[in-house]
Amino acid sequence: MPLPAPGDVAAIAEALRRGERAVLARAITLVESRKAEHRRTARALLQAVLPATGGAVRLGLTGPPGVGKSTTLDALGTMLTGRGHRVAVLAIDPSSTRTGGSILGDKTRMARLSLDRAAYVRPSPSGGSLGGVAARTREAMLLCEAAGFDVVIVETVGTGQSETAVAEMVDTFAVLLLPGAGDELQGIKKGVLEIADVLAVNKADGENRARAGLAAAELRAALQILGRHDPVWTPAVVTVSGLTGEGLEDFWSQVLLHRERMTASGRLAETRARQQVAWMWAMIRERFEAGLRDNPALAERLPELEADVREGRLAASVAADEVAERLGLGEV
């Protein structure tokens, strides 16, 4: 069956709901595009498929480089497709701050899942976005749900940049950690422990099994000291091995248990509603900034203000005030 024309929103939406993978790939490329005509089509497409979204388990997974996120997801995703799930993985690769380039090697590190017809792995560059999340990850999640994927996993860069951005778009936020205790915990940010729903110590196999168990015990103690009191959920700490698959059933059980309790308490619906509003404001800020740069009243003055701030001749707050005044916003 031929692919729908790029601007045929109804045909794209229908093909998406049929689960056509080539159309899903093209649709995600469409929402990632910066071209104005593509953005218009993307907005119409998202509105058209909105009723078919929202049914998936949305899982965010982060962790430091080298912790084995892709290997673990390969094993986890294969386990889930074996149980009849359809799994979409949105793997965000770091972009170069100089060239904007990205390695996009996650597909090669998820060898089994990439070939699984019940799975879809989409690597996307972070584009320098905070939280290691691609600019259009939220839209891509909705498109995957519309295409019938009932588990959507966002694998993030994990470079320590505001993981809150990830937690604010998923139902369950999981952190993958390396085995070891004591010194290993020194590098874990308090903020990550405050927002993590599940913490998994990876590489818990062979000689590392005992070290992973000790690290898990240290994490549980750290969480108690942190004093995170939630009547609905206490963060779970498990040990896993992405290499052998050990512990992944327990990990997934904790993800489902978290979702079950959130749903029963009404928190899941509340969280998703809050996330949608936060997403709206994020898009408004993005459009506002883009409009600023194209505004005729600022076209000549903005480069001058940037140069003055960069060279230290003008305070950033003063420059911001001038921009606001030129737009008729007054003092903020």
Helix axes 137-146, 9-17, angle to 10 degrees: 60
pLDDT (mean) for 22-40: 88
pLDDT (mean) for 301-322: 92
Count of other CB atoms within 10 angstroms of residue 24: 23
Cβ atoms of 61 and 153 within 8 Å: the answer is: yes
pLDDT (mean) for 309-325: 92
Q: Which of 181, 185, 130, 179 is nearest to 156 (CA)?
A: 130
- pTM score, whole prediction: 0.85
Task: Give the per-residue pLDDT at 96.
Answer: 36
Q: How confident is the model at residue 157 (pLDDT cuts 50, 70, 90)?
A: low
Cβ atoms of 238 and 198 within 8 Å: the answer is: yes
pLDDT (mean) for 306-327: 91
Radius of gyration of the chain, Cα coordinates, nearest whole angstrom: 22
Task: Give the per-residue pLDDT at 132.
Answer: 41
Task: Give the per-residue pLDDT at 99.
Answer: 37
Q: For the residues of 280-296, what is the DSSP string, one character each?
A: HHHHHHHHHHHHHHH-T
Q: How confident is the model at residue 151 (pLDDT cuts 50, 70, 90)?
A: very high
Task: Give the per-residue pLDDT at 2.
Answer: 62
Task: Give the per-residue pLDDT at 237.
Answer: 95
What does the mean pLDDT of the chain come to? 84
For residue 253, is pLDDT > 90? Answer: yes
Cβ atoms of 190 and 226 within 8 Å: the answer is: yes
Q: Which of 1, 158, 178, 153 is nearest to 86 (CA)?
A: 153
Task: Give the per-residue pLDDT at 189.
Answer: 61
Would strands 119-125 and 236-239 be described as parallel, antiparallel, or unpaired? unpaired
pLDDT (mean) for 45-50: 94
Count of other CB atoms within 10 angstroms of residue 126: 22
Q: Which of 230, 72, 52, 64 is nearest to 141 (CA)?
A: 52
**How far apart (Å, rounded) are the C-alpha atoms in residues 263 and 321?**
45
Would strands 198-201 and 172-177 be described as parallel, antiparallel, or unpaired? parallel
Strands (E), 148-201: 151-155, 172-177, 198-201
Q: Which of 107, 52, 108, 120 is nearest to 80 (CA)?
A: 120
Would strands 119-125 and 87-93 be described as parallel, antiparallel, or unpaired? parallel
**How far apart (Å, rounded) are the C-alpha atoms in residues 202 and 158?**
15
What 3-state DSSP class applies to 239?
strand
Read off the pLDDT of residues 91-149 as tens digits, 9 standing for 90 and up. Answer: 876 543 333 434 455 556 788 998 999 999 998 765 545 444 556 889 999 999 999 99
Task: Give the per-residue pLDDT at 125.
Answer: 63
Read off the pLDDT of residues 164-198 as tens digits, 9 standing for 90 and up. Answer: 777 888 999 999 988 864 444 545 566 677 789 99
For residue 6, is pLDDT > 60? Answer: yes
